[in-house]
Structure 1
């Protein structure tokens, strides 16, 4: 199905681009946490590849792509080198990085859903693994950096929800045999646009109804 819209080389290039941007976010968090270069590389690799590793292990696609394609492994290291030497400049273009991150989110939530479905999972579970592909690396990154994962924090713009919508839409298109050709772009673009809108207008998920706790979220 992937090749209906993208050739293998284009699909690989898009994967590398998404991996690179996710790795940048991991390396930048390591800088903010005052990690050394090894810590930067670890967070970059985990952020970029963690979601795909979780998916591939669950569906039995072993060894995972991250361990069979050298480009997947080396790209986060390249991102680490760039951030190591140029992190002030990279910090200044975080908005642009956020746009590319949103594009990676949209792409990975759909490719993860399609790959899981192709390995025999039902639509609901395929969509769930699509979500895990898109956000799993960020969760592992935050845990390693001793932070509450961003997608669990009420004071962060919606991140998982756009990926959930994209994965669910991909599953629906799979259900009706319509996820081919240009239709493949529909869930990708939907998740991408929703994430951009959440960033622009600071959309956040609601907290508990009639919440009485006076506790505040740590900065």
Structure 2
């Protein structure tokens, strides 16, 4: 759903938006600066390598941690990533990737300049683009009509996380959980976040009300 009368997009932008939320831009990583590619390779390699090593060194495989096969696998995986990321694109693919990147950037600038929001529609799995001010009014109306949620004045993240860590330490100290269970349940402060609320527009209903979506804590 897009208000094309009030907020006109050029044909190139419209064609890109019409691909929908499931569209994935082509060769996004290939047109990034070299340093960004290297950081991404390092992150992906570490993530996969750690999972494979953990699986192979655990029961029933029990492969020694210093086994040559693990080192060989890690090196081969890194070589694969380097080859995949740094292999040059064909001229056609590079032009297409750059064009899509420029179009996506122009859409983001248009949204920011015109104070618009872009959301995935409820059930329809299409894009909704509308006034950020009007959308906020719909959200406030939802709060007033339902009284289902309370806006927190303070961030309880650190308090909750400290309680979880303290509880896990107590359980492990009393030998009520095993070491692997302790490690598995221990939250990572840098990756955890509180549950938060966002809204998707119901474009299939009159007045386009909003549906609350609660993103749970991780």
TM-score, normalising length from structure 2?
A: 0.22
Q: Which has the higher strand share?
A: 2
Structure having the higher Rg: 2
Q: Which has the higher helix share?
A: 1
